[in-house]
Structure 1
């Protein structure tokens, strides 16, 4: 498997935007001044904001995307799936990070809509192509965009709530509690799409469970706290059910379908 220089402009652009996005996240986390609002320790809190450790899923996403920008030089599959859309997604993601950090949450939400659209295009194109023929295809092409797609969807909901439902010193109103629970239920319900669409997307579904457990760890209001835990357990159980059934089927000599 030799180096392929076809479509080199987009490949070089992918490297540049990847480094830019990675640098922005690192600076937001470890640099800046006291007025900089990092997504990892945010002042723009709502009643569905997860614990700060939850955001470190970016570490895994960035690691896999770093592998992707190297892997793209040995296969044309990355260009076929992503084209210039990874560049678009990374640029708008970087714009979102800058706007969020500077306190412009509404315009950050607008930028995130465009980033989500670009990531979704790549994600669904990969699903349509169904071209995960090797382990490298899975690890450095399908997996990073599965995680990225699920996480940017979570960020979109978090940003939406940061604009329209911020926290108060005296705790949430009844309306805010209902709205928060509805938001958590909406996020949890999307796991059905991740598992049932095409061959299923366990990685994306588990990102949603990770987020819900993060909300459980962060939010102290009883209704929100325990709802997040219950939904997190339900999402995890629903996601892992096919593997449990397959294991039970093997032990009993029967075969269980992969998707339940």
Structure 2
């Protein structure tokens, strides 16, 4: 790899917004005042809110994105695939985090819709136009946005339930059914990651991780056990690309697992 200063304005901008994104999450989690609401320990609980540890997937995403902002100086494919869009994503994400920590859940939800669209743009661009050719491209270009795309979708669902429902004691039958419908909706998107996104195992595992987090957090029996069953089902379903790849090799064909 050769160090390159081509497109340096966008590369510098990526570093700046990355640092802002990380510092914003750290501040809201460890330093913010009692009147603020951290995504990790949210006061806006619903019946599909996962356990606090689930949100630490942000740590993995941040580490991989940190690798990307370093890797971009050695591979111009990062600029071609991501360009200035990561700057847009990070700014919208920072606005969402500020609104969420301030308790403006509806405005946060609207902002998160735009953030989801921005991340999806990068994600689909990587899938359709910039397939990974090396392990480094998988780790520092495709993997972070696979995780980011799945996780921001999960956040969108969590945020939606935080706006329109709240967890106060035992859920009613209607609330429990609504929560289960939400969980099934999240789990069903695994079909898109495995069947239509070239076997995106990483994105599918994020969904499973979230469902296990709901299992750990929610005590209502119907929600508790449904989330466990769905989490196991999603985790098992992620094995399909590996099985397909194995039998594909036996027949002389191969299938990509991440992009």
Partner of 1:162 in structure 2? Answer: 162
Give the Cα separation in 2 of the matches to 1:32 and 1:129: 41
Do the aligned residues in 2 keep the contact of 1:212 with 1:228 (CA within 8 Å)?
yes
Give the Cα separation in 1 of the matches to 2:220 and 2:69: 42
Q: 1:74-153 to 2 correspondence within 5 Å? A: 74-153=74-153
Aligned residues: 257
Do the aligned residues in 2 keep the contact of 1:246 with 1:255 (CA within 8 Å)?
no
Q: Where do 4+ consecutive residues of structure 1 move more than 2 Å?
A: 241-250, 253-259
Give the Cα separation in 2 of the matches to 1:131 and 1:248: 22
Give the Cα separation in 1 of the matches to 2:34 and 2:45: 17
**Structure 1 residues 201, 246: closer, same or farther in 2, change over 3 A?**
closer
Helix, strand or coil at the partner of 1:226? helix
Do the aligned residues in 2 keep the contact of 1:206 with 1:239 (CA within 8 Å)?
yes
CA drift at 1:248: 8.1
What per-residue deviation string (whole Å, max 9, x for no partner) do you get for residues 165-195 of structure 1? 11113x2121111111111000000000001
**Structure 1 residues 80, 130: closer, same or farther in 2, change over 3 A?**
closer
Partner of 1:188 in structure 2? Answer: 187
Do the aligned residues in 1 keep the contact of 2:248 with 2:254 (CA within 8 Å)?
no
TM-score, structure 2 normalization: 0.94
Do the aligned residues in 2 keep the contact of 1:48 with 1:161 (CA within 8 Å)?
yes
Give the Cα separation in 1 of the matches to 2:219 and 2:28: 26
Do the aligned residues in 2 keep the contact of 1:99 with 1:105 (CA within 8 Å)?
yes
Partner of 1:13 in structure 2? Answer: 13
Do the aligned residues in 1 keep the contact of 2:51 with 2:217 (CA within 8 Å)?
yes
CA drift at 1:247: 5.7
Give the Cα separation in 2 of the matches to 1:104 and 1:153: 19
- CA-based RMSD: 1.9
CA drift at 1:131: 2.5
CA drift at 1:249: 8.8
Give the Cα separation in 2 of the matches to 1:246 and 1:127: 18
